[in-house]
Structures are given as C-alpha cells and as structure tokens.
Chain A
Amino acid sequence: MIGGDGEIAFRSRDERGPFRCPRTRKSADLGEIRANNWALAAYNGCVTQPADSNGFAIRTDHLARHYQMGEALIRAVDGVSLEIQAGEFVALLGSSGSGKSTLLNLLAGLDHPSAGTVTVLGKDLGRMGALELSRHRNQTIGMVFQSFNLLPRMTVFENVELPLRLAEVSRVERPKRVQEALGRVGLAERVRHRPGELSGGEQQRVAIARALVNRPRVLLADEPTGNLDSRTGEEIMRLIAGINRPGDGSAATTVVMVTHERPLAEQFTNRIITLADGRVAHEERP
C-alpha cells in the first residue's frame, strides 16, 4: 500500500513508478482516480480504502442505539466503544437481546446510531447520506445472514451477481467476478442451480460468495452458522477464517461475526467481545 495519501492506497505491490491497474494494465494518475473515477477503480480492485491512519478498520465511540417502545426506552446498544484493527477476526458474543445484531447493523450502515459515532475505514457513517450509505454497504462491506437470505427465484449465479448489478459493473466483467467469488467458496460448478436445490451449508457458501463478490474490506456476519449443523457450521467458519487470512498472500479481510457458539468463536477468531445489555461486558483474545 502506498502510505501518506490518507484516503487511497493501492493493492498493487509496485510501490515505485506510476500506478498500473492490475486488471486494465493501464497507468493512472492518483489524483485523477480520486477525483473522477474512484468508485470504478475500486470495483476493478485497482484501489481500495485502507484502514484509517492508526490501522483501525472499525472504530465506535460511545455508540448507542435506543428505541422507544411505547413508554419504555430500549437501550439496544448503549455506549459501545470499540477499535477493530484491519485484518482482525472479531466475534461478538452475548445472549439474546444483548445488542449484538443491532451493533452489526450499525456497522453495516443499515441502522442509524442514536448517539456516538461509528467509523469504518476512516469514514464516519453518521455523516453519510442515504446514497453514500448504500454505496458503503455495496462496496466497503459484505454481509452474511443467519438465514442466508438468497433470492429463491434467482439462480446461484444471479444471486451472486446481484451486488455487481447494484454497483453497475459491466456485463462483460460480471461472469468472471461471479466465478471468482464462487471459486473461493468451492461452488463454481453450481451456478445454474436455484437456492432451493442446495443444502443449507451450500446456500450459506453462496451467500458468502455474494458478500465477497464486490471485494469488500470488511465482512459482517450475523450468526452465519446459526441454521447449520455443527459439522457444516465448522466448514463455514473455516471458510470465513480463510477469507480473513487468505493463504495466497492477498489482502486480509476484516471480519466481525455475531455468534452464539463460543467454541467456534474460540477456535477461529482472534478476539471475542461479549455484550450484555447493550454494553461491552468482556473482551478476550483466545
């Protein structure tokens, strides 16, 4: 990565000389990319947002999310301050209603904080408009859900292609990217199948491929093994761990995962944050 730019760094290892996009093989001016075509360069994997200047992928500062339910004020998340380093694999543990999923939604930009700030890759989500937030969900993060949330009428290919459509990636580029993502989860042969024709584990793999297809820097997973048997759950955890620290030398992906299963968290993650009543109750490094 080229340091000192503060906002943009290259995935290219060639730190000297003009930047050359690995996909297009064209050199480009840094300022030009930033000014005009940052998003496109990001899709192409030519540039990416780094962690902030201190190396944090995610920071929350006294983050709170309160709901008014009739007379009662529900403090789902109540003053959580967290710092997650780029490349970390963090598990959020806690009982039902402890605020894990709400915290994850706040990191995803799906929910808005009542107080405090949430910063992802150096950008304060609270200052983003609706359009910017949707771009954040599309390009910066990938989301995996407990119930997979694949669209049943679409094939595996179409499901994985969906974030590329939303990012307006060209039709020529898409098949390659879909195949690449499905290859990472080991389902490159199942492109024509519909979700209903796949097992639970396979469906979750497709969902992970969909989350990875836009090459996000942060993966947010909400109980990804919750609907799976223990063996399949372990397979999925292994897959996510592989995404977190790929063996091929490519960049690490920061992973934040909500889970109920402490043994899996202890086996695969490098930090466990336990929440209770919307607050951080305990932190440990297995």
Chain B
Amino acid sequence: MKLSDLNELAWQNLREAFLRNSLTTMGIAVGVASLVAMLSLGIGLQDMINRRLERGGLFDSVIVRPRVDMVRPGEQARNRVLGQPPPAPEVPAARLDGDARRELAQLPNVVEVYPEFRFAGDMRLVDEGRLTDVTSLPVSASTNDAFEGMLGHFFSSPNAHEIILQTDTAESLAQIENKHAADLIGRNIVLRYPGREKLPAESGNAAPGRRNAASTSTADEIMGFSVISSEIPLQVVGIVSADVVFSGGGAFARAGAFLPLAVAEDLRVVQGNDTREVIGNSLANAGEQYATLTVRVDRASAVPAVQDAVRNLGFATFSLLDLTRSLRRVFAILDLLLGIFGSLALAVASLGIVNTLVMAILERRREIGVLKALGASDRDVRQLFFAEASVMGLAGGAFGVLLGWGIGRTIQFVTAAYLRQQGIPAENIWLVPWWLVLGAMAFSLVVSLAAGMYPAARAARLDPVEALRYQ
C-alpha cells in the first residue's frame, strides 16, 4: 500500500476509537513534555553558566609567561635511569617584552594583548593611609560581571587617573574621616607605591657587593634597579562589592583597588619577576620583561591554535579552556540524567501505545482478516499498525513539545519572580533550542514505532481464516 493510503487508513482507524487514542496520545505528550522541560532547564542552566563565564573573559584568554628552562633537581638522574636524554625545548625561550607583546598582538584571532601589574599600594586620604593590593585592569574588563551594579562608574578613559575601590577598602579609607564609603566617590586620593628606577651607571659601579659583571656589556638593566617610594594622585570613581575580579594574567585578582592598565603601566611599579632580571645570566631572560601577558582571542574555539602559536614563539602558556572540558562533561552528565528522568514518563506512555494497539488488534481481528482476504499482505497490515503508532507518536510529540515549552516557561516565570523577591536579578535558566524540538518529536516517533513493533507483528501474523471466523 502507498504511504498516503496507509496514513489515511491509520487516521480513519484512530478516529474510530477517538477517546482512547486521544488519551494514549496525551500520555505520550506528557512524556515528551517532561523530557523537553527537563532538558530545556539543563540546557538553559548550561547556557547561563557558559554566558557568565564567557562574559568573565575566562575562556577566550591565553595567559602568556616567559618560559624559564630551569634545571629541576632529580631530573637528570631520573633521565639517566630511564635511559632518556633530557628533553630539549624545540624553540628557545624568548623575552616577554614590548616587542613580544606587539608580536603576539599580530597573531591571527588575537583581539588584544595586555599585561597585569600587581603591587601593594598605600592609599592616602588627608594624612593617613591604608595598605591594600592594587591591580591593573584593561578597558575590556568593564563588561565584567563584577562591575554590574557597582557604585559610581568604570574608568572614564584608558588613561584616566582614576581608581576603583573594593567596598572593604573604601569603608576602611572612609573611616579616616568618619564618613561612608559612598562619600569617597569623586574624592582625590594619593596612591603610594614602590617605583622602579634605573641605576645610574656610576652608582652601579660604586655599589658594593658581588655583581655579576659577565653580562654587563649590553644592558644596564642587568645591573639592577633601585626601588623608590613614588606617589600618584587619583580620583575615586567607583566602588565594587566583589573582591574577586578576573583581571587577566593572574586569572582571579583579589584586590582592594583597581587601576586603569595604561596608568599602572606608566607607574613602573616593581614586580615580583623583576628580581629574576637581576640574577639573569643570559640574554634570553635578562632585561625588563612582563610577568605575564594576557592574550584575548576573538572566540573560545580559536584558543588552542593561538596557544600553539604562542608556544612556538618561545613562551609558556596557560588557558582555562582545559578546565572547561571537565565542566562540559559535568553538564553532559547532568543533561543525560535529566533526559533519563524525562524519558521515564515517555517509557510509561509507550506502554500505553502497546496497550492501545493490542486492544485494537483484538477489536479489529475480523477487519484484519477481511483486509487479508482482499489482498493485504502481512507487510501492509504491519505498516498500517506502524502508521497508527507513528501518528500517535508524532501528534503526541507535537503536543508534548508545546506542553513542555509551557512548563518551562512557567518554571522560568516562577523562578524569576522568586529571584526578584530575594533581591537577585532574574536569570534566563530555560532554553528550548530548535534541535530539542525536532529531537523530542523524532524521539517520540521512534519510541512510538518501537512500542508499535509487537502489536504490528502480532497483527501481521494473524491467520486470515481464523480472523474471518472471529465474531
């Protein structure tokens, strides 16, 4: 029989026992709805977290550090035991300096490259000061979640002599004048910090001690530098409640105050890795270098390629993308579990299909006999029952998707209302992508066909002589 005839006959048969078939179809619809509702919540949550992480700039960044090929104790001995030569780096270590920064910015897919400066700073209001950790922030950090709902505003320009304080720091600073933290906004403060100054050549020569003279021929910097207490006037423009902000190089920056990157760069603050310069004994790691550079990539999928390119330039890299792999696995398992729970209802509904179709065989026994006497093959009869199962499956699937969408929307609405009541901004935790709609309907069809398998085979096997005798 042709497919169109099969479908027509199936519809006719289903209309005959309308109530029973509608109830069976509704059973499937409820099953599909629970599946869709569960999965749309799982997908919605995953999407929300992904969105947050991406906005935080965690997964589109590559952290670049100078590679230090240190001699590790025990390694030589271990290699000797194993009979292996020590691994030789393929690319010589390179200097992470201004040239390197420009070179990194030229790599494909790279949006920006910026360093991070961290130092202990003394913020002075009137004559008193408060010591806190200060860190630099690139302009792109303004989209960071931490600045959502901040007091005041983000830096007005990349070079503005402005500072954003963390709430605790601001409160502590405001106490100097017995005021509230919010009163600090717009006030000028002075930031005292350890400045780095080149040693004048004669002063270097005059300095006592055992300076390494072997590499003095090229750069004065290798000789060392002096640390001088320096100051800069800054205006407080904002106060943030979060004390952990993703700032770039150091991944999460726990800081009491934030400076615009360009301003921090101009300060020439002494950094931790500066000491390595002083002891450096080869050109490769001598001279002024950045402690870290953060390379921001236009999309997370390009991160591995950029990481490889950076490594080939002779730097060490690190990205959080590796960590997201396990996060994604957790979500895949969560979705799977939600899907299994959602499918349970569909499994129960499929038993309804089996029941309905087996009942139909008993009722339509004689009719099956007539069909066979008129020339219906076993395959025709089987296909007719499959067609009935698939009509119920598809109709149930379509209703189910609508119902699941409704349930998801309701959960979303209730959650948003609850969050607002708790003073938390509402989040979209529910998402029905098109593939879920199609997938749920296809799944419902497959389950229905599987459920129709036994009744269809039984109907096809029916002996026409017996069936015609049946009253």
Residues of A bordering B, CB below 8 Å: 105, 108, 110-111, 130-131, 134-139, 143, 145, 149, 151, 153-154, 162-163, 165-168, 210, 214
Contacts and interface: CB of A to CB of B under 8 A. Distances in A.
Contact of A134 (B366, B367, B377, B465): B377
A163 B375 contact: yes
Contact of B373 (A135, A143, A168): A143
B468 A145 contact: yes
A165 B1 contact: yes
B250 interface: no
Contacts of B464: 110
B175 to A, nearest CB: 88
B12 interface: yes
B374 interface: yes
Contacts of B12: 153-154
Nearest to A105: B465
Given A149-B468, A153-B12, A137 B370 contact: no
Nearest to B373: A143
Interface residues of B, number: 24
Interface in B378-414: 378-380
A166 B376 contact: yes
Given A149-B366, A149-B370, A131 B9 contact: no
A137 B367 contact: no
B128 interface: no
Which of A105, A137, A145, A168: most chain B CB closer than 10 A?
A137
B465 A110 contact: yes
A149 B468 CA distance: 9
Contacts of B16: 153
B5 interface: yes
Nearest to B15: A153
5 tightest Cβ-Cβ pairs between the two chains A and B: A138-B375, A134-B377, A137-B375, A165-B5, A149-B370
Contacts of B376: 134, 138, 166
Interface string B439-467: 00000000000000000000000001100
B372 interface: yes
Given A105-B465, A131-B379, A149-B468, A168 B374 contact: no
A210 B375 CA distance: 12
20 contacts: A108-B373, A110-B372, A110-B373, A110-B464, A110-B465, A130-B377, A131-B379, A134-B372, A139-B375, A149-B373, A151-B367, A151-B370, A154-B12, A162-B374, A163-B374, A165-B1, A165-B5, A166-B374, A166-B376, A166-B380
A167 B465 contact: no
Nearest to A207: B370
Contacts of A111: 465
Contact of A167 (B369, B373, B375): B375
Interface of B: 1-2, 5, 9, 12, 15-16, 366-367, 369-380, 464-465, 468
Given A145-B468, A149-B370, A168-B2, 6 more contacts: A110-B373, A137-B375, A154-B12, A165-B5, A168-B1, A210-B374
Secondary structure call for the B interface? helix
Which of A110, A163, A165: most chain B CB closer than 10 A?
A165
Contacts of A136: 375
Secondary structure call for the A interface? helix
B377 A131 contact: yes
A149 B15 CA distance: 20
B453 to A, nearest CB: 19
Contacts of A138: 374-376
Contacts of A168: 1-2, 5
Which of A135, A151, A154: most chain B CB closer than 10 A?
A151
Contacts of B366: 149
A135 B375 contact: yes
Contacts of A167: 375
Contacts of A154: 12
A224 to B, nearest CB: 14
Contacts of A210: 374
Nearest to A134: B377
Contacts of B5: 165, 168
Contacts of B378: 130, 134
Nearest to B381: A134
Contacts of B380: 134, 166
A110 B375 CA distance: 10
A154 B16 CA distance: 10
A174 to B, nearest CB: 10
A83 to B, nearest CB: 24
Contacts of A135: 375, 377
Nearest to A140: B375
B186 to A, nearest CB: 83
Nearest to A211: B374
A108 B375 CA distance: 10
Contacts of A165: 1-2, 5, 9
Nearest to B364: A151
A71 to B, nearest CB: 21
Nearest to A137: B375
Contacts of B367: 151
A149 B467 CA distance: 11
B27 to A, nearest CB: 24
A166 B375 contact: yes
